[in-house]
Amino acid sequence: MLAKPLLEDILLAGLSTGGDFAEVFVEDRFSTILSMIGGKVDSGVSGRDYGIGVRILKGTNYVYAYTNDYSRDNLIKVAKEAAAAISPETISRNITLSFMKDEPLLINPIRIYPHEIVKQDKVSLMARAYHAAKEYDPVISQVMVRYFDEDQKVQIANSLGLYVEDQRVRTRTAITAIASKGPEKQSGTYAPGAHMGFEFYDNIKIEDYAQEAARIATTMIHAPYAPSGRIPVIIDNEFGGVIFHEACGHSLEATSVAKKTSVFADKLGEKIASSVVSAVDDGTIPNAWGSLNVDDEGHVSQRNLLIEAGVLKGYMVDLYNGRRMNVPATGNSRRQSYKFAPTSRMTNTFILPGSHTREEIIASTEYGLFARYMGGGSVNPATGEFNFAVNEGYMVRNGKLAEPVRGATLIGQGSDVLLKIDMVADNLACGQGMCGSISGSLPADVGQPTIRVSEMIVGGRKGDK
C-alpha cells in the first residue's frame, strides 16, 4: 500500500494539466488455485498480483494508466503521462487535498483468512467433493474439482478527498462431473462460492454440491435431445436468474445506458416488464459472492431497485457514466484488477419473490420446457438479443414434469421476454457466476424464484413438437 503523501502527489501530478478528477487505485492480491482431476491434485498455483491504476477525468474525457513499478518516480511519471494525454496544457493550481478516511461498513466480515489454512486442508475438501461426485453413479467417468481463494487488499483515493481501504476475501469450489455412455459425454457443474473465508465450508456441505453436479451429468447422459420451437418455458430458481442478468441486467448498466446504446435508455418510469416482475441489484447482502463493502471507486455498496411491478426504476451507475447521465453513482463501479478501469457492473442481481409456488407453475403448464439448471449466456446490449444454455431440462406435459432433455438453448430479446414473464414463485435463491464485460471478469450472484415465460424460442436438435 502507498503512503498518503505519495497518493496526494500522484493525484496532484494527475491534475497538472487541468483534469477535474483524479483517482488512485492500489491493489495487492494473494490468490490460490488448486485443481484436482481423477482424485489427484495435478496443479497448484499461488501468488501475488500487485499494481496501481491512475484515472483522470476532464468532463467526459477519460484517461486510465496502470503500472506495477511502484517506485515514487515511476508513479509520478505515469500520472504525468496520463495528465498529458487528457490535455496538452499545463495549469499551475494550488490544490490541497485533505483525505477523509472512510470507515466502510463491514458488511462482509471474514473469520478464517485463506493464509490461515494449510493447503492440505484445502485439498482434503476437494477430495471430499471428488469422492461424493465419483461415487454417485457408475456412469460418472471423470470428476474435476477446482479450488479458488483470494485475499485482495485495495486502497482508493481521489481528488475529492475520498480515501478508503478495503479487504475482499473470496472462496469458491467448482465441481464438474462427466458422465460417459459409449462415445457420448455429458457434464454437470456446480460451483458454490462466497465473499467469505474458509468458514464458508462450515456453512455448506460440499458433498451435496458434488452429488448435484453428478446427478445433472447422470440425468443428461440418458436424456434425448430437446425439441425446437416456440414454447412456454419454466425457469427454476437460483442460477436460473442468469436470464435476468443477461436479458436485462447488462442493458441497465450505465456503460451502455449513458451512450444510449441500451434498449432501456431513456425508459425510466416506463413499463418494461410484466407487472409480476420486480428486481434489484443488491451489493449489501452479507458475505454473498457478488457483495462489496465499497465498490472500486470507493463508494459504499447499495441495494438498488431496478424494476418495481414491471416499471423501470433505476440503473446501475458509475461515476464517469453518471456524468453523461447527470445522476449520482450507485455503488456499482467494479473492475477485475488494477489492469482495468472501473465501470458500472452488477453485484448480486435478482428477481424478487412472487405469489405462486413452483408446483403451481408446473401444474398450470400444459406443454413446455422446465429448465432446472441454466448454464451461462450472453447478450448484445445494443439489440437486447440474448442466449443461454440449459444444463438440465425436462419436458412438461399436462402439468407434470416428463422426460429429461439435453442440448437446449434459449434465445430471445430482453425487452420482449421481460413482458412475457407471467408467473413468479416464492422460492428466491441465488447462484454464483463470473460475469465478463469491459472491466474484466467479476464475481456476481444471479438469482430468482421459479418463473414462467409464456413463450420462448428453444433451440434443440430434434425437429418435433
- Ranges within 257-316 binding another protein (CB under 8 A): 259-261, 263
Q: How far apart are CA 111 and CA 312, in angstroms?
A: 38
The residues in 47-86 that bind another protein, with binding defined as CB under 8 A, are 47-51, 59-70, 78, 81-82, 85-86
Say whether residue 453 binds another protein (CB under 8 A). Answer: no
Sign of CA dihedral 199, 205, 211, 217: negative
**Cβ closer to another protein: 50 or 113?**
50
Binding another protein by CB under 8 A: which of 90, 203, 355, 383? 383
CA-wise closest residue to 133 among 202, 39, 222, 201: 39
In order, the DSSP letters of 110-147 are -SS-GGGS-HHHHHHHHHHHHHHHHTT-TTEEEEEEEE
Q: What CA–CA distances, in Å, run from 337 to 144, 288, 343, 347?
A: 27, 19, 12, 16
Residue 18 in the binding site for another protein (CB under 8 A): no
Please tell me the distance from the alpha carbon of residue 61 to that of residue 84, in angstroms, as a whole number. 12
Site for another protein contains 387 (CB under 8 A): yes
Which of 121, 103, 131 is closest to 40 using CA atoms? 131
Considering beta carbons, is residue 158 or 337 the nearer one to another protein? 337
Q: Which position among 178, 214, 395, 424 is part of the footprint of another protein (CB under 8 A)? A: 178
Of the residues 167, 364, 380, 427, which one makes contact with another protein according to CB under 8 A: 380
Main-chain phi, psi angles of 451, to 5 degrees:
-130, 160
Nearer to another protein (CB atom), residue 246 or residue 282: 246
One of 20, 141, 160, 360 touching another protein (CB under 8 A):
141
> Helix or strand or coil: residue 194?
strand
Distance CA 323, CA 319 (A): 7
Does position 138 bind another protein by CB under 8 A?
Answer: no
148 counts as binding another protein under rule CB under 8 A? no
Please pick, from the candidates 132, 196, 252, 408, the single residue that binds another protein as defined by CB under 8 A: 408
Closer Cβ to another protein, 169 or 374, answer by number: 374
What mask, x for binding another protein by CB under 8 A, covers residues 180 to 219? Answer: x--xxxxx--------------------------------
Minimum CB separation of residue 391 from another protein in Å reads: 9
Phi, psi of 158 (to 5 degrees): -135, 170
- The region, left, alpha or beta by phi > 0 then psi within -120 to 50, assigned to residue 21 is beta
In the range 100-119, which residues lie near another protein by CB under 8 A? 118-119
- Is 463 one of the binding residues for another protein (CB under 8 A)? yes
